[in-house]
Every structure is written in C-alpha cells, then in structure tokens.
Structure 1
Amino acid sequence: MDPLDDSAVTRKMNDVPEWWLEGHEICRVIEARDFPTAIRIVDEIAVEAEKLNHHPDIDIRWRKLSFALTTHDAGGLTELDFTLAARIDEIAASHA
C-alpha cells in the first residue's frame, strides 16, 4: 500500500476530527469512564485491528488510552490508518 501525499492526508484528517497529525502518525487520546471500560475498548479495537491486519500503538494509563497509527511498511500514512482510526472512533463512541 502506497503512502498518502500531504494533500490527501489533509483531506482525510477532516474525516477523523478527534485525531491529530504528529509527523507520519495520526494520534488520539480516549478517556474511558473507568479502567474496565478502557480495557473493553482496547479488546474491541484489537479484534478490528486483527481483521485489518493493521495494529495501532496503544498506551494504557488507567482509563486514558493513547493511540498512534501509521503504516510502517509504507513509510507513512495510508488509507488503512484512516480506516482503523474511524473504526476506533466508532468503538469509543459505543462506550461513551
């Protein structure tokens, strides 16, 4: 999969407004209501990540989840990153 050019990344960022760009990654922080909910969110994301064969970097600090997405093999952001970001948003919203 080829990396997206800067203009495509800028357009795609509009589709995931909770995310921000950091270098060649898109990032988001989600705060769950409690630790067990945070773990359930991560479990659901893990299932989606396996389906897509695309795995986010995740940092879990109590109920605060930090995500970073990039396509290492492509050396930057691809459609896959934005697909997974949108799915992460849906999962997070289902636990709000």
Structure 2
Amino acid sequence: MPEILTQQTCIPCSGSMPPATPAEVAQLHQQLPEWAIIHAGAVPQLQRQYQFANFKQALAFTNSVGAIAESHNHHPALLTEWGKVTVTWWTHAINGLHRNDFIMAAKTDEVAQE
C-alpha cells in the first residue's frame, strides 16, 4: 500500500539529489490524478488549477498554499486570477520532479478542501 503523501514531510533537496525516476513519477502520480504533468521546456512539472467563486477566495487559497510552502521551504509557482489559482510544483535545484513535489501537491489538495 502506498504511503499517504499528506502525512510525509519534504526533505531538503540539493542539486546533487536525483530526480524521481519515470517509474516513481508514475506511481506517485496515481495518487494525484487531478494533477497534470506538464513540461516547461525540458522540465517536468506538476500543475493543477483550482476554481473559486471570486478573487477574494482565490487570494485566500493562494495565501494558504504560500504558508504551507514556506513551512516546508519548498515553493510553487502560483498564478492567482479572478476565480482561479494555478499551482505548479517542481524542484528547481534538479530541474525536474522529486517526491517532495508530489507531497506538496497532496498538501495543496488538502488546503483546497478546508
């Protein structure tokens, strides 16, 4: 049985750590089916868009995601617009995906359910 991603903690990631293997990405992605794996150039990233009734709710969500990102010292790209927020996770130090990105995506989903 896979570990529950929301119960895991990000580990400090340096540029010397390898990115997740394709098999690891596939296994972790199964736990986050609403997240898309996109590519910005050659860099794979996790991305999801959340819908809200207005800008105030979108901004509150952005701030909540920012707070969990800061507490884990792992930061996403956040695009806040009227009624929606696009969240993109990847590990800058390795220009790719790491287990940390999947952990943080799961924690982002948790924030959205609050």
TM-score of the superposed pair, with normalisation by structure 1? 0.92
Note the C-alpha offset of 1:55: 0.7
2:21 counterpart letter in structure 1: D
Stretches of 4+ aligned residues off by more than 3 angstroms: none
| One of 85, 90, 93 as aligned partner of 1:73 | 93
In structure 2, list runs of 5 or more residues that go unmatched: 1-12
Taking the aligned partners of 1:10 and 1:53, their CA distance within structure 2 comes to: 25
- Paired residues, what number? 94
1:21 counterpart letter in structure 2: I
Give the secondary structure class of the aligned counterpart of 2:49.
strand
**Structure showing greater Rg:** 2
Note the C-alpha offset of 1:33: 1.9
Are 1:92 and 2:112 counterparts? yes
Alignment RMSD: 1.0
Taking the aligned partners of 2:64 and 2:80, their CA distance within structure 1 comes to: 14
Note the C-alpha offset of 1:74: 1.5
TM-score of the superposed pair, with normalisation by structure 2? 0.78
2:48 counterpart letter in structure 1: R
Q: Percent identity?
A: 29
The residue that corresponds to 2:38 in the other structure is 22
Q: Is the 8 A contact 2:58 2:81 kept in 1?
A: no
Note the C-alpha offset of 1:63: 1.3
